[in-house]
Structure 1
């Protein structure tokens, strides 16, 4: 392939993915006419859910949901939950809301109109309500004979999705100062603002930022990489759930 072909191919991809970001931004701007904040928030949540459903592999399901555990504890209502549906069915479903077993959860996101100190802390609280839940794991039978040992629990990914970043310097010093205080169960691993910013946060205070018209697809590719690193969810101990009903 010639250098020119590579260059044109790169430009084509950049323009195409920028178009995806522009389309989502236009959808979110179109909700500005909705008077009530709660209603407008629900509409925008669905836009983000639709984008994740479109770009994530079919093994991942994306919904607004509440997460529950085998001890009967529940999380806050979570705007976006990325979870497994192949091995772990949802519970107590209704047309508008699902209850997802804690063991099935890969990632949770809070959707807000902007990313600022207050909304970072709010999203961190939602993440904590999920990560504090109990998760079971049992041996996994297979055709080869002796079952695989119970899988260790991975860290559930948590983040924030928004229309814009409130700080004038984007994800600069003010963002880092606020974000770095969110630790342990309250940590936020990644975030996206449709105005063209995204971040990934790592241990020891390391960050990766993207500020461009391709921030959305950059965020999606980075998120896919994180999901890939988690593998599959653990096998649930359904007896632990059943025991709650026999007491």
Structure 2
């Protein structure tokens, strides 16, 4: 088996494991919050297959201006330049400068679920971000425009028929630019990715989670690396 085949098999194994866990969680509990929490844990475990430059948690996104997002099921954030995460009473607060992507986890994709992630995406993308320059060979390199923060919804099933329908695609992109949903993955049906140029990539079927993992990695890679947080913009609040 070649290295490429081995990698594909490993990702496929992770995808199968996620699909089975999501089904088991739904069938083994009649308590909505318990099922939701189990599903969030399942998706977090799957996302930990991402390269180590990324980390995954749940909680809130915050800014040095004191802004706070709605609670998010899954936050993909930096673990290299901006690994700072605040925790209090078991709740995580991730500086917006560190964020690559945010996701809501649902049992089924619905209009309400899409509206929720749109609201969260707008809140996070509208936050002011402050970075420090990176010093390279004794020269300061000023960080350019902040990276684009991806948003998406993850679910076991879909209320749309077919699951990746034109109606779903329209719902993902309608509204303000800061509300746009980039990724939708339905574990038992397929995924839809709509990039910033409006190009749509869809794959359907029951064994597409592995390919979705590669699509997510490609989209994250496309957006580049976040810069280092301006730490002093957060520590200044200690003197307020």
Deviates most, 226-235 or 157-166: 226-235
Q: Can you list the C-alpha shifts for 1:160-207, whole angstroms capped at 9, x where unaligned?
A: 100012222121122123223143111111111100310111245431
- Structure 2 counterpart of 1:134: 128
- Structure 2 counterpart of 1:59: 53
CA distance in 2, matches of 1:160, 1:116: 10
- Structure 1 counterpart of 2:22: 28
Q: Name the SS for the 1:76 alignment partner.
A: coil
Q: Name the SS for the 2:16 alignment partner.
A: helix
CA distance in 2, matches of 1:238, 1:17: 36
- Structure 1 counterpart of 2:64: 70
Q: Is residue 147–residue 225 contact of structure 2 (8 Å, CA) maintained in 1?
A: no
CA distance in 2, matches of 1:63, 1:127: 16
Distance 1:14 1:99, change over 3 A: closer
User: How many residue pairs are counted as aligned between the two chains?
Assistant: 238
Q: Name the SS for the 2:90 alignment partner.
A: coil
CA distance in 2, matches of 1:178, 1:15: 34
**Alignment RMSD (CA, Å):** 2.4
- Structure 2 counterpart of 1:146: 139
Matched, 1:108 2:93: no
Q: Is residue 110–residue 126 contact of structure 1 (8 Å, CA) maintained in 2?
A: no
Q: Name the SS for the 2:105 alignment partner.
A: strand
Contiguous gaps of at least 5 residues in structure 2: none
CA distance in 1, matches of 2:35, 2:204: 26
Distance 1:18 1:140, change over 3 A: closer
Mapping of residues 151-230 of structure 1, within 5 Å: 151-203=144-196, 205-230=198-223
Counterpart selection for 2:84 from 84, 90, 93:
90
Runs of 4+ in 1 over 6 A off after TM superposition: 12-16
Q: Flag the structure with larger Rg.
A: 1
Q: Is residue 134–residue 143 contact of structure 2 (8 Å, CA) maintained in 1?
A: yes
Q: Is residue 153–residue 183 contact of structure 2 (8 Å, CA) maintained in 1?
A: yes
Deviates most, 199-208 or 110-119: 199-208
